[in-house]
Amino acid sequence: MPQLSPRVTDMNDQGSDGWEVFARARAMVEQGIPVTELTIGEHDIRTAPAILDAMHAAAHAGHTGYATVPGITPLRQAIATRVTQRTGVPTKVENVLVTPGGQAALFAAHLTTLQPGDAALYVDPYYVTYPGTLRACSARPVAIPTTAENSFFPTKGALDTAAQTPGAKTLLINTPNNPTGTIYPRAVLENIAQTCRDHDLWLISDEVYDTQTWEGDHLSPRALPGMAERTIVIGSMSKSHAMTGSRIGWIFAPPHVIEALSDLAVSTTYGVPGYIQDAALYALTQGPDLEQEIAEPFRRRRALALDVLARQGTVGVIPSQGAMYLMLDIRKTGLSGQDFANRLLDSHHIAVMPGESFGISAAGHLRIALTVNDDRLLVALETLCTFAQSLTRA
Ligand X SMILES: Cc1ncc(COP(=O)(O)O)c(C=O)c1O
Q: Which residues bind ligand X (CB under 6 A)?
A: 41, 101-103, 127, 174, 178, 206, 208, 236, 238, 244, 249
Q: Whose Cβ is closer to ligand X: residue 101's or residue 271's?
A: 101
For the bound state, the minimum distance from the C-beta of residue 127 to ligand X, rounded and expressed in Å, comes to 4
CB of 361 to ligand X, least distance (A): 16
Comparison of 113 and 238: residue with beta carbon closer to ligand X: 238
Q: Is-contact 290 279, C-beta < 8 A?
A: no
Give the shortest CB-220-to-ligand X separation in angstroms. Answer: 15
Residue with smaller CB distance to ligand X, 17 or 160:
17
CB of 104 to ligand X, least distance (A): 7
For ligand X, which is the closer residue by CB, 207 or 356? 207
Strands (E), the chain: 36-37, 96-99, 119-123, 140-144, 168-174, 202-206, 231-236, 249-252, 316-317, 325-329, 350-351, 353-354, 365-369
Residue 23 C-beta: closest distance to ligand X, Å = 17
What's CA 25's distance to the chain center, in Å?
A: 22
Please say which residue, 210 or 356, places its beta carbon nearer to ligand X. 210
Residue 285's CB: how many other CB atoms inside 10 A?
12
Q: Distance (Å, rounded) from C-alpha 177 to C-alpha 188?
A: 13
CB of 63 to ligand X, least distance (A): 21
Rg (the chain; Cα; Å): 21
Q: Torsions phi, psi of 169, nearest 5?
A: -130, -30
Coil/strand/helix, residue 189: helix
- Beta carbon nearer to ligand X, 275 or 325: 325
